Chains A and B, each alone.
Chain A
Amino acid sequence: MSFVDTSAALTVNPRARRRRLLRRRFARRPLAIIGLVVALAFILAAILAPWIAPYSAGATDFNALLAHSSSKHLLGTDELGRDVLSRIIWGARASIEAGVLATLLAMAVAVPVGIVAGYYRGWADAVIARLTDVLLAFPFLIVAVGLAAILGPSLTNATIALGIGAAPALIRVARGEALALREEDYVRAAVANGASDARILARHVLPNMLSTLIVQATVAIPTAIIGEAVLSFLGLGVQPPTPSWGVMLADAQSYLSQAPRLAVYPGVAIFLCSLSFNLLGDGLRDILDPRTTR
Chain B
Amino acid sequence: MTEPVLEVEGLVKHFPVRGLGAKGVVHAVDGVSFRIGRGELLGLVGESGSGKSTVANCVMRLVAPTAGAIRLNGTDITRLSRRALRPLRRSMHMVFQDPYSSLDPRMTCGQIVGEPLDVQGLARGRDLDVRVSQLFDRVGLRDELRFRYPHELSGGQRQRVGLARALAVSPELLVADEPVSALDVSVQASILNLLRDLQEELGFSCLFITHDLATVEYLCDRVAVMYLGQIVEVAPTRELFGNPKHPYTQSLLSAGVVPDPEVQRSRTRVVLEGDLPSPLEPPSGCRFRTRCPLEPRSAPQSHDEEPPLVDVGDGHLVACHLVRRGETPDLYRPLEVAR
Contact = CB atoms under 8 A, between A and B. Distances in A.
Interface of A: 10, 13-14, 18, 184-186, 188-197, 199, 203-204, 207-208, 290-291, 293
A136 B106 CA distance: 32
Nearest to A193: B116
A197 to B, nearest CB: 8
A195 B115 contact: yes
A189 B150 CA distance: 15
Contacts of B89: 192-194
A208 B120 CA distance: 23
Contacts of B62: 188, 191-192
Interface in B137-168: 144, 147-149, 151-152, 162, 165
Contact of B104 (A18, A196, A204, A293): A204
A188 B96 contact: yes
Contact of A291 (B83, B90, B105, B112): B105
A189 B165 contact: yes
16 contacts: A13-B147, A14-B108, A14-B147, A185-B96, A189-B96, A189-B102, A189-B162, A190-B104, A190-B119, A192-B89, A193-B93, A193-B120, A194-B85, A196-B119, A203-B104, A293-B151
Contacts of A204: 104, 106
A196 B87 CA distance: 11
B297 interface: no
A199 B96 contact: no
Indicate the size class of the contact surface on chain B: 35 or more
B47 interface: no
B116 A194 contact: yes
A294 B78 CA distance: 46
Interface in B164-199: 165
B119 A199 contact: yes
B101 A186 contact: yes
B86 interface: yes
Given A186-B103, A194-B116, 10 more contacts: A10-B147, A185-B97, A189-B96, A190-B115, A192-B62, A193-B89, A193-B165, A194-B120, A195-B119, A208-B106
Interface string B124-144: 000000000000000000001
A194 B120 CA distance: 7
B98 interface: yes
A47 B103 CA distance: 42
B17 to A, nearest CB: 17
A105 to B, nearest CB: 26
B94 interface: yes
Contacts of A195: 115, 119
Given A18-B149, A199-B119, A194 B96 contact: no
B325 interface: no
Given A186-B104, A193-B116, A291-B105, A14 B82 contact: no
A9 to B, nearest CB: 9
Contacts of B90: 194
A199 B111 CA distance: 14
